[in-house]
Amino acid sequence: MQNDILLRAALNKPTSRTPVWLMRQAGRILPEYRKVREAAGDFKTLVTTPELAAEVTIQPVDILGVDAAIIFSDILVIPEAMGLPYEMEERKGPVFPKVVSSQTDINSLRISQAEDLQYVLEAIKLTKQQLNGHVPLIGFAGAPWTIFSYMIEGGGSKTFSKAKKMLYTNPELAHQLLDKITQSTINYLKGQIAAGADLIQLFDSWAGILSPEQYQEFSLRYIQQICEAINEVPKTVFAKGAFFARAEMNALPCQVIGLDWNMDIEESKRMLPNKVLQGNLDPCALYGSLDDVRRETKKMIDAFGSHPHIANLGHGLYPDTEVDKVKCFIDTVKEYSALRSKN
Amino acid sequence: MQNDILLRAALNKPTSRTPVWLMRQAGRILPEYRKVREAAGDFKTLVTTPELAAEVTIQPVDILGVDAAIIFSDILVIPEAMGLPYEMEERKGPVFPKVVSSQTDINSLRISQAEDLQYVLEAIKLTKQQLNGHVPLIGFAGAPWTIFSYMIEGGGSKTFSKAKKMLYTNPELAHQLLDKITQSTINYLKGQIAAGADLIQLFDSWAGILSPEQYQEFSLRYIQQICEAINEVPKTVFAKGAFFARAEMNALPCQVIGLDWNMDIEESKRMLPNKVLQGNLDPCALYGSLDDVRRETKKMIDAFGSHPHIANLGHGLYPDTEVDKVKCFIDTVKEYSALRSKN
């Protein structure tokens, strides 16, 4: 591989500078993406058409100069493969016309196989061909608790009270569904790796709405199972809002832990001494001037210091971020961390 | 006062049991509230009519048996008094038809005086008369950062990127607005206390979207100013999601710190040794059976142990919570903590 700096950093091997990529780098902010998106007509066509998914996956590598591609897809392909289809509504986000609320609903869901998501595997193969060894490709999936929440709520929520209600009223049922999601996710990630993914990342977007105790029982144990099952490539776990679980995450069988911007860097270094850390600039920092972006990025690089680090934002890029600010973030990481390495 | 257990606990004086009240206890879940709400026609009529506000404020004291009343109002009365009116949309929440985005907008806002919110002061006076020394009355306001966010965003938001954008692009302007809100809030709280409020609470509902560093600069320093200006009654600060600021909060000139359900109790006791702690049962725990509610409530009481404690939820009551579960929470706190005190 021509640029394997991200893979080396994920394995805690020495690198000449800090590697950098951005969550949601494929899509949203690039005019080149919007053109493909418009031609496709809708989001799901883009996700399910391997040629188009590969095209938008590669765009940020060429245009922004990131050290990795991440396959363009959605975490909700898993519930769909299990038998619960989703729709993507413009400006509103994902919606499930049917939701899960009973034992019968759970019984009717299948444990999906990698082949059920052939279009993602095809997109990965195509992307790998087109990347031609330039940078590594990241595969991903949602963490079971986050997928579970979407399947129960039917979409986003302010309080996720339906999903949390099941944890209190029928924990057995919750565990049955979480188990089915976990098995499906393991099959899916193994398929992604067989198709060519060089690293994988688990996104636990709704980690932050659980109490520390519930997080252990209903989320972390399933993340643990997935991490134990996947040993072929380096693994990153990003649990947004799970500040309270950092000590336990230090013991997870994965290499990298993603931090959100609420998590203090010094404290996180102390709590996660065994892990490579990924993150964690506030996406809103990219709203500042180019000078602001440079200053905040350098501050972040300095704060991680000699701790093994992969630069990223503390959350996905926001849609109204300007491309030159994103480039400035990436360039500053590259230049400033190289300078620090030399000194 | 007949039942001054909450006031005593807030001042860290010995009590025979743990006092208990609930955020959002007035309104939402009580059929008696809904009746008054329907008769009033809309939310703002209820808030601005002292007789009705007093009536729904007192309801939970009689019906649920809580150890305090909290005045029925809204944190957004402050922007309205400053010159930025809000509307309350059914099922959607508060909306500001005009928002703040420029120096001109900020110049056009006034620092409000207590008298600008005469209807709240009247409601407090009426409530105090009708409570007739039964339990104390809590006054409240939003913390400046949370009020600021609403004034910039015009309502709720998933990312609060407009409000945060201003922090990065024009921190001076942000401080000007935060300062005006702070002065208005001090005037308002002093008015509430003069009208009869026995304790006050600051709600920083959107604390959790700031980085630790920004929280210091744009929120905590204004909370500090308010706490320094108010010395007549005990003060509680509840900053939802500000787990990262607990160490600093231990030094705030207030008596009580509210905890949300994400904040581990043991850890919070260690980080806040000088403070009475309030909270922090997950509101979703009240979705369980009566046995579940008893078990979770006892677990919470045991975890706070001998640390000075005011029992509450870790967030406002959710609208679909059953009244008998709320009563069960309150009764369990009373009975179980009395039993523990004896042993």
Q: How far apart are CA B313 and CA B317, in angstroms?
A: 7
ipTM comes to 0.92
Buried b (16+ CB within 10 A) or exposed e, B222-250: bbbbbbeebeebbbbbbbbbbbbbbebbe
- Please, what's the largest Cα pairwise distance for chain B? 63
Q: Which residue has the tokens 């391997």?
A: A50
Q: State the DSSP code for B255.
A: S
Catalytic residues of A: 24, 28, 37, 74, 150
Cα→Cα distances B240→B139, B167, B252, B263, B303, Å: 18, 20, 16, 10, 20
Residues of A with CB under 8 A from a CB of B: 156, 158-159, 161, 164-165, 167-169, 208, 210-212, 214, 241, 243-244, 261-264, 267, 282-285, 287-289, 292, 296, 314-315, 318, 320
Active site residue B150: yes
Active site residue B287: no
A138: CB partners within 8 A, 6+ apart: A21, A68, A69, A70, A71, A197, A198, A199, A200, A201
Q: Which of A208, A264, A292 sits opposite B212 (nearest CB)?
A: A264
Q: How far apart are CA A51 and CA A57, in angstroms?
A: 10
Domain residue limits at B45: 5-342
Q: State the DSSP code for B132.
A: T
The full DSSP string for A146-189 is: HHHHHHHHSS--SS-HHHHHHHHH-HHHHHHHHHHHHHHHHHHH
Active site residue B215: no
pLDDT of res. B27: 84
* Mean predicted confidence (pLDDT) in A191-213: 97
B282 with A320: Cβ contact below 8 A: no
Chain B: give the shortest CA distance to residue A87, in Å.
Answer: 20
pLDDT tens, residue order, chain B (343 aa): 999 999 999 999 999 999 999 999 998 899 999 999 999 999 999 999 999 999 999 999 999 999 999 999 999 999 999 999 999 988 788 999 999 999 999 999 999 999 999 999 999 999 999 999 999 999 999 999 999 999 999 998 888 999 999 999 999 999 999 999 999 999 999 999 999 999 999 999 999 999 999 999 999 999 999 999 999 999 999 999 999 999 999 999 999 999 999 999 999 999 999 999 999 999 999 999 999 999 999 999 999 999 999 999 999 999 999 999 999 999 999 999 999 998 7
Q: What is the pLDDT of residues B96-106, one digit of tens each?
A: 999 999 999 99
Tokens (6 digits) for B176: 């000007």
DSSP H helices, B97-252, are 103-107, 118-131, 144-153, 161-169, 171-195, 212-215, 221-229, 246-249
Q: Mean of the per-residue pLDDT values for chain A?
A: 97
A-B interface: how many C-beta pairs under 8 angstroms? 88
Q: Give SS3 for B71.
A: coil
B174: CB partners within 8 A, 6+ apart: B148, B166, B167, B218
Residue B46 CA from chain centroid, whole number: 18
A104: CB partners within 8 A, 6+ apart: none
Cα→Cα distances B41→B34, B45, B86, B122, Å: 10, 7, 17, 20
Q: What is the pLDDT of residues B177-191, one digit of tens each?
A: 999 999 999 999 999
pTM higher than 0.90: yes
Q: Which of A211, A264, A318 sits opposite B262 (nearest CB)?
A: A211
Tell me the residue length of chain B.
Answer: 343
Q: What is the pLDDT of residues A46-91, one digit of tens each?
A: 999 999 999 999 999 999 999 999 999 999 999 999 999 999 988 7
Domain total in chain B: 1
CATH code at A163?
A: 3.20.20.210
Set of chain B residues whose Cβ sits within 8 Å of the Cβ of A282: 164, 211, 214
Cα→Cα distances A40→A34, A35, B174, B178, Å: 10, 9, 41, 45
Residues of B with CB under 8 A from a CB of A: 156, 158-159, 161, 164-165, 167-169, 208-212, 214, 241, 243-244, 261-264, 267, 282-285, 287-289, 292, 296, 314, 318, 320
**Residue whose C-alpha is closest to residue B177's, from B157, B151, B202:** B151
Residue A318 identity: Y
User: Percentages helix, strand, coil for chain A, rounded to the nearest 5?
Assistant: 55, 10, 35
Q: Give SS3 for A127.
A: helix
Q: How far apart are CA B174 and CA A72, in angstroms?
A: 37
Q: Give SS3 for A68.
A: coil
B287 with A161: Cβ contact below 8 A: yes
Q: How far apart are CA A215 and CA A222, in angstroms?
A: 10
Tokens (6 digits) for A60: 């940020």
Burial of B89 (0-12, 13-18, 19+ CB in 10 A): exposed
Q: What is the 3-state secondary structure (H, E, C) of A6-52?
A: HHHHHCCCCCCCCCECCCCCCCCCCHHHHHHHHHHCCHHHHHHCHHH
